Amino acid sequence: MNRQRTQLGTALSLDSPSRGLRRSNQAGAGSSLKPAIHQREPIEQCYRTLLGVSNSAILLLSPDSIILGWNRSAEIISGWMADEVLGRSLVELCLPKETRASFRITLAQVAEGEELRGLEFPLQVRTGSQTMLSWNLTRVLGTHGDLIGLMAIGTALGSDRGMEEELRLAQARILSEASRAEKAAEEERGRIARELHDEFGQALTGLKFDMAWFSRKLLLLPAPTGSRELLNKVQVMSGAIDALLKSLRTTIADLRPAMLDDLGLAPALESLGATFQHRTGVRCLVEVEQELSSMELPSETSAALFRVAQELLTNVMRHAAASLVRIRLYQGDGRVTLEVTDDGKGITRERMSKPDSFGIRGMHERISLLGGHFSIGGVLGVGTTARASVPGRRPKALADGPVAERSIP
């Protein structure tokens, strides 16, 4: 079959050895298409190069879908060489049956002068599989306004979508691994807390009893020279042991409060608020919806909300200069929300955006691992409000009743 190569208008010269857009001008392959006057201009080389190196399939079609041009990328995407498809119907050769009618209607619209962009039609490749392409279609006119053909530029969506899917899966794996790491860290904190309690706590308690016994024995002995000094020394050592025990209990509670595991999040928050008020003298109100007492939260959810509350109270103690802190725990729309508000200085935007704001960043990350949302904002001289909201589960039995608000005694 003899195929004569011509050009697209005056700008697209196609007789290039670099396999640009190939055309057929067979009789019957679109007799209404008039060949343009052959002209050579420097810009033609740019178009030939573009056709050759483009990653998009660039086709020249007649209004009834006969293939008149087929560039190198069209060959790669479809598996059909240009010499095999020129003069054949794109609709019959490369489109699935269910899309053929709509594609013919689209070609008719373009032939009437409508320019269409971003149309998604699958291309059925030589092996029988399908590749989804996004098509831009427009008319190609000659120097006198005569219709040369319809230009169809198809960009494969499969690679972009595949990359998006790979990124989505990679992100999911990262979140999964981070969640596992956080869970492992909580378990390790619990293990260390138990060991501190069982080993060091018991040893210090035993030592305190020994010092008390030694003190009693000293009091029963005759008063030799220096016994009073020795007794004072024993009392100092006993006081040091008391201080160590208190510090140990605080460390254990910070690592993993037993109340969180034994009684749940609400009592643990109340205990946290009581400790905060005792340490700082700042009044702390803890407000918990009654129905949450019967809600079974996953351990990682309870731990995350408790850690956020710990961090927020630490920030209040260090930066806020507040006189009142309110902790609220409530649920709605299938989510459990922790809200901590203070009446202090009010956090500034500059403070939140500081590179060394590891505490705020850590709270964001901890909550996002659970599919939740964390926000914090403040008004200068009014105070700061922070919220951490995570997916929750409905309680086994909903208890009716008003919200209970308690001031830590």
Quick: pLDDT tens for 244-280. Answer: 888 887 787 777 777 777 778 888 899 889 989 998 9
Tokens 């070609």 correspond to: 107
**What pLDDT shows up at residue 355?**
67
Terminal-to-terminal C-alpha distance of the chain: 98
Take residue 162 and report the two structure tokens written for it. Answer: 């595949």
Is the CB of residue 67 less than 8 Å from the CB of residue 88? Answer: yes
Q: What DSSP string runs through 106-134? A: HHHHHHTT--EEEEEEEEE-TTS-EEEEE
Tell which residue, 59, 43, 57, has the closest CA to residue 11.
43
Question: Which range among 156-160, 315-319, 404-408 shows the weakest confidence by mean pLDDT?
Answer: 404-408
CA atoms of 384 and 311, how far apart (whole Å): 14
Q: How many Cβ atoms from other residues are within 10 Å of residue 75's Cβ?
A: 19
Share of the chain above pLDDT 90, in %: 27
Tokens 């008003």 correspond to: 402
0.75 exceeded by pTM: no
β-pairing verdict for 335-342 and 147-156? unpaired
Task: Using pLDDT thresholds of 50, 70 and 90, give the confidence band for residue 176.
Answer: confident
Q: Please say if the pLDDT value at position 15 is more than 90.
A: no
Question: Which range among 249-253, 340-344, 354-358 shows the weakest confidence by mean pLDDT?
Answer: 354-358
β-pairing verdict for 324-332 and 116-124? unpaired
CA atoms of 363 and 383, how far apart (whole Å): 19
Condensed to tens digits (0 to 9), the pLDDT of residues 202-234 reads: 888 888 888 888 888 777 777 665 677 788 888
3-class state of residue 407 by DSSP:
strand
- How far is CA 302 from each of CA 157, 168, 257, 334, 401, rounded to the nearest angstrom? 43, 27, 11, 15, 23
